[in-house]
Amino acid sequence: MSTPVSPSDWRAAGRWRWPEGLLWLLAFALPALWPGHALIVNEIAIVALFAVSLDLVLGYTGIVTLGHAAFLGFGAYCAALFAKHIHPDPVLGLAVGVVAATLLGALCSLTILRGSDLTRLMVTLGVALLLLELANKLDGLTGGSDGLQGVVMGPVLGRFEFDLYGQTAAWYSLSVLLLLFALARRWVHSPWGATLMAVRDNPLRAAAIGISVPQRLAAVYTLAAGVAGAAGALLAQTTGFASLDVFALERSADAVLMLVIGGVGWLYGGVLGAVVFKLLHDLISAWTPQYWTFWMGLFLVVLMLVGRERLSPARWWRARGEGA
């Protein structure tokens, strides 16, 4: 009596398709084709990873935050300190940054379990400010407002030295982005990921079908913190530097902007948003260095009023069932 569920449908949403493969190939080819722009590719890969991490929290689970930079910054400082004092190996340092940020995320997740969106906004903002001030005060360890300097990294996997043009850095960051993007994609298309969306859509009903809402909030916040920590570690390692601005409100706010530009609750939204945001930033500030925020602001107002749906390819992409 029942119609069988057609196989070419929603379950295919999590599968990789060839246009995506091409996009990633292009991304990996850019530092070689265009060595002068390897540094910006590296930068974009890092902020894209940070935006993807925020999407898990904000887009998929609906946890409103303005303090996601807490984990970016913590990952950055931990990786930088590890490289400076313990071992210069990048992959080892990356792991240290991820583990440290994950632990911090687990601790901070206790602060976002209760309260309204406004409560969460303020609490997350507060935690990031707290860490910023701590990093400022503990100048013996962190270098305070001068930043943590003199971070010298070893070669990636003992083979690929970081070069002046940033080619190695770009490939390293892109590889980590791809790896964690694939992992995040697995998460959001799993039964577990669906329960996150249930929590976002309707926490009351989510509890009424047996989902422990606090447990889901804590789990996704912790995991996303780890991903943000990876972005932070990459930032510190590829620039050889960690400064207080990694904890700054602008970092968190920029990531929210990128998600809004690219589309929330859609992993490529973070990547797309990062690309558009960084390119706009570069283009506008090359053209009018002092007033780039004016144009960025104008772009945002137009985007929100006209509607992202009508401007971005996200809708078109999704309508064809190729959503990530």
Q: Write each residue from 40 to 59 as x if it is in contact with other proteins (CB under 8 A), else as -, in one continuous string.
A: --------------------
Q: Between the CA atoms of 124, 301, 323 and 34, what dihedral angle is there, to the nearest 10 degrees?
A: -90
* Choice from 145, 149, 212, 293 touching other proteins (CB under 8 A): 212
Query: Does position 197 bind other proteins by CB under 8 A?
Result: yes
Residue 149 is a binding residue for other proteins (CB under 8 A):
no
Residues 155, 41: Cα–Cα separation, whole Å = 19
Task: Determine whether 79 is exposed, middle or buried from the number of CB atoms within 10 Å of its CB (0-12, 13-18, 19+).
Answer: buried
Nearer to other proteins, 119 or 212 (CB): 212
How many Å apart are CA 238 and CA 52, to the nearest integer?
19
Nearest partner of 177 among 286, 305, 267, judged by Cα:
267
Residue 1 near other proteins by CB under 8 A: yes
The residue within the footprint of other proteins, chosen from 145, 202, 288, 293 (CB under 8 A), is 202
Q: How far is the CB of 197 from other proteins (least distance, A)?
A: 6
Which window, 108-116, 137-145, 146-154, 188-196, contacts other proteins (CB under 8 A)?
Answer: 188-196
Whole-number minimum distance, CB 4 to other proteins, in Å? 7
Residue 28 CB burial class (10 angstroms; 0-12, 13-18, ≥19): middle
Buried b (16+ CB within 10 A) or exposed e, 42-77: bbbbbbbbbbbbbbbbbbbbbbebbbbbbbbbbbbb
Token couple for 5: 């569920």
Smallest gap from residue 94 Cβ to other proteins (A): 21
The verdict on 186 binding other proteins (CB under 8 A) reads yes
Can you tell me which of 84, 120, 189, 251 binds other proteins, judged by CB under 8 A? 189
Structure tokens at 36: 């002068």
Q: How far apart are CA 2 and CA 8, in angstroms?
A: 18
264-283 binders of other proteins (CB under 8 A): 265
The yes or no reply on residue 193 touching other proteins (CB under 8 A) is yes
- Of 10, 287, 294, 316, which one interacts with other proteins (CB under 8 A)? 10
121 is an interface residue for other proteins by CB under 8 A: no
Q: Taking each helix axis from N to C terminus, what angle separates 267-287 and 167-188, rounded to the nearest 10 degrees?
A: 140
Asked whether position 252 contacts other proteins by CB under 8 A, the answer is: no
Figure out which of the listed residues 36, 158, 191, 289 binds other proteins, where binding follows CB under 8 A: 191
Q: Considering only residues 50, 77, 187, 317, which one is a binding residue for other proteins as defined by CB under 8 A? A: 187
Phi-psi region at 192: left, alpha or beta (left = phi > 0; alpha = psi -120 to 50): alpha
What residue ranges bind other proteins (CB under 8 A)? 1-5, 9-11, 14, 186-187, 189-195, 197-198, 200-202, 204-205, 207-213, 265
